Structure 1
Amino acid sequence: MIDTRTAPYAVLLLRVITGVYMLTHGLIKLFVFTPAGTAGYFQSIGLPGWLGVVTMVIEIVGGIALVLGLGTRLVALIMVPVLLGAALFGHGGNGFTFSNAGGGWEYPVLWAFVMAAIAGLGDGAYALFPLGRKTKI
């Protein structure tokens, strides 16, 4: 049974913390690794360099959107393939555990499922611009 009094706030918490994590990852790519470094890394693992910059932008813009509640369902759905791509291409060869050298694939897969859950749950409380149908939890 879902507690309709607290569920919107639980979704808010999940949405905001996930957005903060995505924003942080994008800003690390921007300010620490730089766009050129991020593109170079993507090329080193056999992906086009421009995809690294696109990933960085998706993480930054998507992270902000999640924190603010701007199109939560759509943003979360967009994040799922980004995170699965990170698991497959960036961490897939490093084993399961994220504490392995280079980080294993468990962490980005976990976040992909979290994003899928957020897409299913919707905006939660205090969303600035909800997209999609309104449902009561």
Structure 2
Amino acid sequence: MQHIGSTILRVVLGIIFATHGFQKFQGGIGFTADYFDAIGIPGFMAYIVAIIELVGGVAIILGLGTRLFGALLTVTMIVAIFTAKLSVGFIGADGLAGYELDLALAAIALYFALAGASSFSLDSKLFGKE
């Protein structure tokens, strides 16, 4: 049963990240780059983050490179918390979202970075590892 729960969690995490990465490109990556510049992050990092989220999200869904993409997504969320969300607080304020969701996503991604995918993954089927 743990493999089923882990697989559900992995797929949902992947969907969330893939959707966010896709949205950054669909909405015009320039808007995200401008936002990054406004908060002191070089604008070109928007492309890197969007690619990590999109490709990493799809890979997590498939269970391919789960530990690697789990680690990259964890770092992405930690940076988001400290650069964009920490000042707003855990719950948020004045209509701005806090960092509670980012923290949950970081924790889930970290779980996969440490534990691997599960037997229901391409990592397991192709490389015999979870």
Q: Whose relative contact order is higher, 1 or 2, with alpha carbons under 8 Å and at least 6 apart?
A: 1
Gaps of 5+ in 2: none
Tell me which of 81, 84, 89 is aligned to 1:90: 84
Match of 1:65 in 2: 59
Match of 1:38 in 2: 32
1:86/1:112 Cα in 2 relative to 1: closer, same or farther (>3 Å)?
A: same
Q: Any conservation in 1 of the 2:123–2:129 contact (CA below 8 Å)?
A: no
Q: How many pairs were matched up?
A: 129
**So what's the TM-score if we normalise by structure 1?**
0.85
Among the aligned pairs, what percent are the same residue?
31
Q: Any conservation in 2 of the 1:42–1:48 contact (CA below 8 Å)?
A: yes
Gaps of 5+ in 1: 1-5
Distance 2:107 2:12 in 1: 14
Match of 1:108 in 2: 102
Please report the RMSD computed on the Cα atoms of aligned residues, expressed in angstroms: 1.9
1:100/1:121 Cα in 2 relative to 1: closer, same or farther (>3 Å)?
A: farther
Q: Counting helix residues as a fraction of each chain, which structure ranks higher?
A: 2
Distance 1:133 1:119 in 2: 17
1:7/1:98 Cα in 2 relative to 1: closer, same or farther (>3 Å)?
A: farther
- 1:92, CA displacement in angstroms? 1.5
- The one-letter amino acid paired with 1:120 is L
Tell me which of 50, 74, 86 is aligned to 1:56: 50
Tell me which of 94, 119, 123 is aligned to 2:117: 123
**So what's the TM-score if we normalise by structure 2?**
0.90
